[in-house]
Amino acid sequence: MSESNVIDERINSSYDAGFITDVEMQTFDPGLNENVIRKISAKKNEPEYMLEWRLKAYKQWLEMERPEWAQVNYPEIDFEAIAYYSSPKSQDDAPKSLAEVDPELLRTYEKLGIPLHEQEMLAGVAVDIVFDSVSIITTFKEKLAESGVIFCSLSEAIIEHPELIKKYLGSVVPVKDNYYAALNCSVFSDGSFVYIPKGVRCPMELSTYFRINEMNTGQFERTLIIADEGSYVSYLEGCTAPSRDENQLHGAVVELVALEGAQIKYSTVQNWYPGDENGKGGIYNFVTKRGICHTNAKISWTQVETGSAITWKYPSVILMGDNSVGEFYSVALTRNAQQADTGTKMIHLGRNTRSTIISKGISAGKGSNTYRGLVNISPKAEGARNFTQCDSLLIGDKCAAHTFPYIVSKNPSAIVEHEATTSKVSEDQLFLCQQRGIDPEKAVSMIVNGFCKSVFKELPMEFAVEAGKLLEISLEGAVG
Amino acid sequence: MLNVKNLKAKIDGKEILKGLNIEVKPGEVHAIMGPNGSGKSTLSNVLAGRDNYDATDGTVMFEGKDLLTLLPEDRAREGIFLAFQYPVEIPGVSNLEFLKTSLECLHTYQKKPLLSAVEFMKLAREKCRLVDLDTGFLKRGVNEGFSGGEKKRNEIMQMLMLEPKLCLLDETDSGLDIDALKVVADGINQLRSPDRSFILITHYQRLLDYVQPDFVHVLADGKIIKSGGSELALELEEKGYSWLESGTEQSANPLKV
Ligand SMILES: Nc1ncnc2c1ncn2[C@@H]1O[C@H](COP(=O)(O)OP(=O)(O)OP(=O)(O)O)[C@@H](O)[C@H]1O
Ligand SMILES: [Mg+2]
């Protein structure tokens, strides 16, 4: 039997996070109009300024067109068929502590391997839990407050910290940035808010777990992280959703602000439901993530993308301040009929700005994996440097990998380096492993992990292990 | 230990092995020599169970088991080790990780207790030293950027770690300098024992100067055409293969030794 037949035979694996939580929900009727936006805003007791912002964004969205340039195929989305708000009934009086949270919700997270009881939690990791449209609970808030760190749901921040919201919300990703970002601005439901004060090194890892549960709802969360001068924070987001035959839309916006000398490390382990082997169902993950670096600041994006039917995201860094640093480390795995078009944009504006891009794309089955990256060096970016490495690994012969590196350099002193490789998990490698007693499934996962090593080492320790396991599960049955 | 009878095998529909017989008893060292393209690597691949190498006729018994029905990984776990003629690279997977996984798979199957991390490291370092590889190699990717000779020494290092019952060495001596050749030979001699057997595929007498074979076979056009003692290798070195190919029939089963 040839290698490809062998690989074909067992491309089939389980999605562990595919269960549905049975709690009483209140979900808006599908459809989008001004009234729906007013209702979302009212539901959240938002101040007037926020409602105005949303309505303005909605008007702008109506005039925009759906982007067509990505290397992905999907039927037109009917925005009238989506419900824009859904929350568990029990959240009506926001629980103040874990003891008040609906136990069924807590069980959901236990099943996902995220124990929420503080004594059981990963030591040193604070978690914000977003379930469909609302933040359920944020742990370790008091402890963080001791060092002046604000970690809460965005809804809460809109009410409690209007001065920060007014100053920074939409400052990195403007409302009109793109179609899905504009939609998010008008209907965003919840997400996390982080503020690290001047000179503070955030005493623990912060993380948010996003869960889509309800049918036919879109999740439009929004995250805003502000690291004040000289501060440091490491933040991680995880995402899962039930296995359903319908496609669901996830249109998030993440904005990072790293003020002078600040460092933000943002890691993502994305495991939205990818759809079944025939491409039925799965999440459309259309996300805008961007950070801005002031002088001497640094932003690192690390992402491990194994889920979603379609992934469309380009975490980017605007290197505005002199000597600022942007990094992008990515592992994207597509199998079955999954499609990923992902990469980054590094916009060099300041002098001596530096960026590093390491992208590892893995395609199995009929998966399609595209790296799309832009390195833009402005005329003022004297001495700017970029290093880009894009590696693709193919498993089987029905999958595809594409690389689209765009480089625009308007400063002759800039140095831009690009390396790209494409390799296959070869029959020789598999046979070597088998000959040493290692079964092919374990061999593929070992080879893929080796391929991703330079990205995994950028993840916080606890999550590097998780990411490795996730890859292993996602690759289950990728060969025989 | 190993009994191969009338083995015929095809690669992509083309017959390469055309009725091959060989019997290897515990503790024996057999050398297989023969012209390029005669089927030596094919034999080792068929024995190890490589995909696309289809045995079409004959039997292969290994320690009383029908080898041809076993998965490649199970053959390895049963104690068959193949040192590759062209060892392949696995970038990013460290030798340590690879060896640890391999050893765990073998020990689990063989119901042996697994080594602790400390015991494993100690063993790995010791074996590295035996084949004269710097322990720094353990952290590097499997064969990644290794020189030809380093790759071969690494194969021997793996063999020393895994302690197989039957070692198939496919031209492990090719492309080695004199010192490396000695290292490889020492590695083999180190493992020689009354219950372990070797099949050495080689083109040169020089390995056999260090590792005395019990039997030497000549493989040509998919068959063993002549077998003898260690003196046969010397004769081959002197005369080449042509005198054999011209007409000499396989002598009345010299392999039943
Ligand atoms: N995939 C393949 N398809 C067709 N023929 C093949 C294939 N692989 C090997 N062969 C042929 O099988 C024959 C035996 O090859 P093999 O590698 O076993 O020879 P060998 O005795 O090991 O030679 P060498 O001494 O050069 O290593 C050769 O003629 C080779 O071309
Ligand atoms: Mg050969």
Mean pLDDT of B216-236: 90
pLDDT-derived band at B250 (thresholds 50, 70, 90) equals very low
**What is the DSSP annotation of chain B?**
-EEEEEEEEEETTEEEEEEEEEEE-TT-EEEEE--TTSSHHHHHHHHHT-TTEEEEEEEEEETTEEGGGS-HHHHHHHTEEEE-SSPPPEEEEEHHHHHHHHHHHHHHHTTPPPPPHHHHHHHHHHHHHHTT--GGGGGSEETTT--HHHHHHHHHHHHHHH--SEEEEESTTTT--HHHHHHHHHHHHHH-BTTBEEEEE-S-HHHHHHS--SEEEEEETTEEEEEE-THHHHHHHHH-SHHHHTTPPPPS-TT--
In eight-state DSSP terms, residue A264 is E
pLDDT-derived band at A369 (thresholds 50, 70, 90) equals confident
Give the Cα separation of B236 and B240 in Å (integer): 5
* Residues on chain A touching B53 (C-beta within 8 angstroms): none
* B156 CA to centre of ligand 1 in angstroms: 23
pLDDT of residue A1: 33
> Cβ contact (<8 Å) for A434 and B91?
no
B31 has pLDDT over 90: yes
pLDDT-derived band at A95 (thresholds 50, 70, 90) equals low
A14 has pLDDT over 80: no
pLDDT of residue A205: 84
Give the Cα separation of B27 and B213 in Å (integer): 11
In eight-state DSSP terms, residue A75 is P
- Chain CA centroid to CA A90, Å: 27
pLDDT of residue A119: 47
In eight-state DSSP terms, residue A322 is T
A171 has pLDDT over 90: yes
Q: Which residue has the higher pLDDT, A403 or A294?
A: A294
pLDDT-derived band at A109 (thresholds 50, 70, 90) equals low
pLDDT of residue A7: 33
For residue B92, give how far its alpha carbon lies from the nearest alpha carbon of chain A (Å).
Answer: 4
Tally of structural domains, chain B:
1
Contact call for residues A269 and A294 (beta carbons, < 8 A): no
pLDDT of residue A8: 36
pLDDT-derived band at A416 (thresholds 50, 70, 90) equals very high
Percentage of residues of chain B with pLDDT beyond 90: 79
In terms of average pLDDT, the best of A189-193, A334-338, A475-479, B161-165 is B161-165
A363 has pLDDT over 70: yes
Domain membership of residue B127 (yes or no) is: no
A271 has pLDDT over 80: no
* Residues on chain A touching B51 (C-beta within 8 angstroms): 1-3, 6, 427, 431
pLDDT-derived band at A43 (thresholds 50, 70, 90) equals confident
pLDDT of residue A441: 86
Give the Cα separation of B8 and B10 in Å (integer): 7
Contact call for residues A154 and A191 (beta carbons, < 8 A): yes
3 state SS of A148: coil
pLDDT of residue A401: 87
Element counts in chain A: helices (H) and strands (E): 11, 23
Query: Is B14 near ligand 1, meaning CB less than 6 Å away?
Result: yes
pLDDT-derived band at A274 (thresholds 50, 70, 90) equals confident
In terms of average pLDDT, the best of A245-249, B4-8, B205-209 is B4-8
3 state SS of A13: coil
Sign of CA dihedral B44, B45, B49, B54: negative
pLDDT tens, B231-243?
888 888 888 887 7
Domain membership of residue B151 (yes or no) is: no
* Residues on chain B touching A450 (C-beta within 8 angstroms): 90-94, 97, 141
Q: Which atom in ligand 1 lies closest to the alpha carbon of residue B42?
A: 18
Q: Provide the chain A residues 74-113 that lie in CB contact (below 8 A) with chain B.
A: none
**Amino acid, single-letter form, for residue A327:** E
Q: Which residue has the higher pLDDT, A9 or A233?
A: A233
- Sheet of B223-228, strands arranged across: B80-83, B166-170, B197-201, B29-33, B215-220, B223-228
A217 has pLDDT over 90: no
pLDDT of residue A10: 31
- Structure ipTM over 0.95, yes or no: no
Among A3, A437, A452, the residue with its CB nearest the CB of B106 is: A437
For residue A421, give how far its alpha carbon lies from the nearest alpha carbon of chain B (Å).
Answer: 12
A208 has pLDDT over 90: no
Give the Cα separation of B62 and B213 in Å (integer): 20
We report the CATH number of the domain holding residue B243 as 3.40.50.300
B99 has pLDDT over 50: yes
* A433 CA to centre of ligand 1 in angstroms: 22
Give the Cα separation of A151 and A144 in Å (integer): 7
Please give the helix or strand (H or E) that residue A394 lies within, else none: strand A385-395
> Cβ contact (<8 Å) for A446 and B93?
yes
Mean pLDDT of A7-11: 34
pLDDT of residue A434: 97
Query: Is B40 near ligand 1, meaning CB less than 6 Å away?
Result: yes
Domain membership of residue B35 (yes or no) is: yes
Domain membership of residue B133 (yes or no) is: no
Pick from A171-175, A271-275, A344-348, A419-423: least confident: A271-275
* Mean pLDDT rounded to a whole number for chain B: 91
pLDDT-derived band at B175 (thresholds 50, 70, 90) equals confident
pLDDT of residue A320: 97
Mean pLDDT of A225-242: 87
Mean pLDDT of A355-365: 90
Q: Which residue has the higher pLDDT, A314 or A244?
A: A314
* CB-CB neighbours of A197 under 10 Å: 16
- Chain CA centroid to CA B45, Å: 10
What the block records as the tokens of A61 is 């969205």
Mean pLDDT of A236-241: 74
pLDDT of residue B256: 40
pLDDT of residue A308: 75
A327 has pLDDT over 70: yes
* A7 CA to centre of ligand 2 in angstroms: 27
Contact call for residues A306 and A239 (beta carbons, < 8 A): no
Give the Cα separation of A257 and A266 in Å (integer): 12
pLDDT of residue A301: 95
Domain residues for the domain of B14 are 2-88+163-252
> Cβ contact (<8 Å) for B102 and A438?
yes
Domain membership of residue B130 (yes or no) is: no
Domain membership of residue B121 (yes or no) is: no
Domain membership of residue B239 (yes or no) is: yes
pLDDT tens, B45-93?
999 999 989 999 999 999 999 999 999 999 999 999 999 999 999 988 9
* Residues on chain B touching A439 (C-beta within 8 angstroms): 71, 73, 105
pLDDT of residue B254: 45
Q: Ligand nearest B33 Cα, by number?
A: 1
> Cβ contact (<8 Å) for B101 and A446?
yes
Say what the pTM is. Answer: 0.81
* B46 CA to centre of ligand 1 in angstroms: 12
What the block records as the tokens of A473 is 């599960």
Domain membership of residue B194 (yes or no) is: yes
Contact call for residues A425 and A436 (beta carbons, < 8 A): no
Percentage of residues of chain A with pLDDT beyond 70: 81
Mean pLDDT of A190-205: 92
Please give the helix or strand (H or E) that residue A106 lies within, else none: helix A103-111
* Mean pLDDT rounded to a whole number for chain A: 83
Cα Rg of chain B (Å, integer): 18
